[in-house]
């Protein structure tokens, strides 16, 4: 005999499942996800800057307009990256946002700066 759940019960079970998943990731895994996101964010900003370059001969208004367009484009480019990272690590986009918030608050390294060279 099967048991049937209402939509509310299914939603509650899904929330419990997400909460369990959230607590199951170790901090090291969260840091890996954070670094991966930072790299994706940098790539999105680089692509947006190539799409809307700011030239020296532009007027200040044109420069500001191009900068705003580049920021909007970078934000739009981040959506697929965000979903891809969440899917790759089997986490929700909301949990990814929590990881990013924690990473910024705790000032985790983003992996973008080059390591110091040893002599």
CA end-to-end distance (rounded Å), the chain: 71
pLDDT at 118: 54
CA distance 18 to 20: 5
Q: How many domains does the chain have?
A: 1
Query: What are the distances in angstroms from CA 7 to CA 3, 4, 10, 14?
Result: 13, 10, 5, 10
Domain that holds residue 50: 27-105
pLDDT at 58: 86
Query: Is 9 within the bounds of a domain?
Result: no
For residue 14, being part of any structural domain is answered with no
Token pair recorded at residue 46 = 């680089």
Residue 2: the pLDDT is 46
Q: Is residue 7 part of a domain?
A: no
Report yes or no on 116 lying in a domain. Answer: no
pTM, 2 dp: 0.68
Q: Which regions of the chain are under pLDDT 50? A: 1-2
């Amino acid at each position: 005999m099967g048991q049937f759940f209402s939509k509310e019960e299914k939603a509650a079970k899904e929330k419990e499942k997400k909460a369990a998943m959230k607590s199951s990731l170790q901090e090291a895994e969260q840091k890996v996800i954070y670094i991966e996101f930072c790299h994706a964010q940098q790539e999105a900003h680089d692509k947006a800057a190539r799409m809307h370059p700011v030239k020296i001969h532009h007027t200040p208004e044109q420069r500001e307009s191009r900068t705003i367009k580049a920021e909007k484009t970078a934000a739009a480019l981040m959506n697929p990256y965000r979903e891809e990272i969440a899917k790759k690590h089997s986490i929700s986009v909301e949990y990814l946002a929590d990881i990013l918030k924690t990473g910024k608050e705790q000032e985790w390294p983003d992996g973008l700066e080059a390591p110091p060279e040893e002599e």
